[in-house]
């Protein structure tokens, strides 16, 4: 999978991809994330990428020309499955959506800033919009990093135990059960006996029961909405 991220603030995207799982996925050649600075694609003085809004009002608007030039240069090099604008107006990112997108080969993520992008970008250049939640961030960069993380960890071989992504919260419409590690007792707080029993079937049943109880208590709508893996 290759993900091209277009941004006017490339520095914001340096650290999420230079550590841990996202770094290793790239080192193993399983994912490639390329960040493109929008500024060099601007033909304006001082490489401006934004301008005042027609009709007035506070806030700058990202211009279509540098975005079009950047997207066109990428499309000339390879075919893209989707060109995604990160936006609070978009389709909400859920595990089923992440599962579907993780099967794609080439994606472009466009990060908005200021008041957003010229509406003609949304009408003519992008293929979908994705939101990471019902709140407004100051730009799309952190949202793009969240989306990349959710997708890349699903690529086979990225996580050392391939099944672990499938046992995450949400993958079966349930939250994950509680987990414990050593010591088995701390400050008098004991790990549930069943986990120390060595009885695999009992442990599996306990975990399922706990996942159900936790989902009902915390996110009662989740199991009803839960879709199966890769659905
Ligand atoms: N840009 C600003 N807020 C956002 C959000 N909630 N999701 C995706 N992109 C955004």
pLDDT digits (tens, 9 = 90+) for 2-18: 999 999 999 999 999 99
Q: Name the closest-CA residue to atom 4, ligand 1.
A: 88
CA–centroid distance, 157 to ligand 1, in Å, is 29
Is ligand 1 within 6 A of the CB of residue 135? yes
CB burial of 135-166 (b: ≥16 within 10 Å; e: otherwise) equals eebebbbbbbbbbbbbbbbbbeebbeeeeebe
Q: Which of 62-66, 109-113, 167-171 has the lowest mean pLDDT?
A: 167-171
State if residue 134 touches ligand 1 by the CB under 6 angstroms criterion. no
Section 176-187 average pLDDT: 97
Which of 13, 84, 86, 117 is the pocket-test mutation for ligand 1 (most atoms within 8 Å of CB)?
86
- Give residue-wise pLDDT tens across range 100-159: 999 999 999 999 987 899 999 999 999 999 999 999 999 999 999 999 999 999 999 999
Q: Is the CB of 86 under 6 A from ligand 1?
A: yes
**% of the chain at pLDDT higher than 90:** 86
Query: What is the distance of C-alpha 125 from the center of its chain?
Result: 21
pLDDT at 186 over 90: yes
What's the pLDDT at 227?
A: 40
| 131 in contact with ligand 1, CB cutoff 6 A | yes
Model-level pTM greater than 0.85? yes
Report the separation in Å between the CA atom of 206 and the middle of ligand 1, taken as the mean of its atom positions: 38
49 lines ligand 1 (CB under 6 A): no
Q: Which residues pair with 202 in a beta bridge?
A: none
Cα(3) to centroid of ligand 1, in Å? 18
Ligand 1 proximity of 137 Cβ (cutoff 6 Å): yes
Give the pLDDT confidence of 77-96 residue by residue, as tens digits: 999 999 999 999 999 999 99
Q: How far is the CA of 56 from the centre of ligand 1 (A)?
A: 23
Q: Find out whether the beta carbon of 7 lies less than 6 Å from any atom of ligand 1.
A: no
């Amino acid at each position: 999978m290759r993900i091209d991220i277009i941004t006017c603030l490339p520095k914001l995207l340096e650290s999420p991809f230079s550590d841990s799982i996202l770094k290793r996925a790239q080192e193993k050649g399983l994912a490639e994330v390329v960040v493109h600075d929008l500024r060099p694609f601007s033909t304006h003085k001082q490489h401006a990428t934004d301008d005042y809004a027609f009709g007035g009002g506070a806030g700058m608007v990202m211009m279509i020309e540098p975005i079009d030039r950047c997207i066109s240069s990428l499309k000339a090099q390879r075919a893209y499955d989707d060109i995604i604008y990160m936006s609070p107006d978009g389709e909400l990112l859920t595990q089923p959506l992440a599962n579907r997108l993780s099967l794609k080969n080439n994606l472009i993520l466009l990060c908005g800033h200021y008041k957003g992008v010229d509406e003609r970008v949304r009408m003519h250049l992008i293929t979908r919009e994705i939101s990471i939640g019902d709140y407004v961030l100051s730009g799309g960069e952190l949202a793009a990093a969240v989306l990349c993380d959710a997708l890349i960890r699903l690529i086979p071989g990225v996580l050392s135990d391939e099944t672990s992504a499938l046992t995450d919260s949400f993958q079966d419409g349930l939250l994950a059960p509680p987990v414990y590690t050593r010591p088995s007792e701390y400050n008098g707080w004991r790990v549930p006996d069943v986990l120390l029993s060595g009885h695999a079937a009992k442990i599996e049943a306990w975990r399922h029961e706990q996942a159900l109880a936790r989902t009902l208590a915390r996110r009662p709508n989740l199991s009803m909405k839960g879709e199966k893996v890769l659905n």
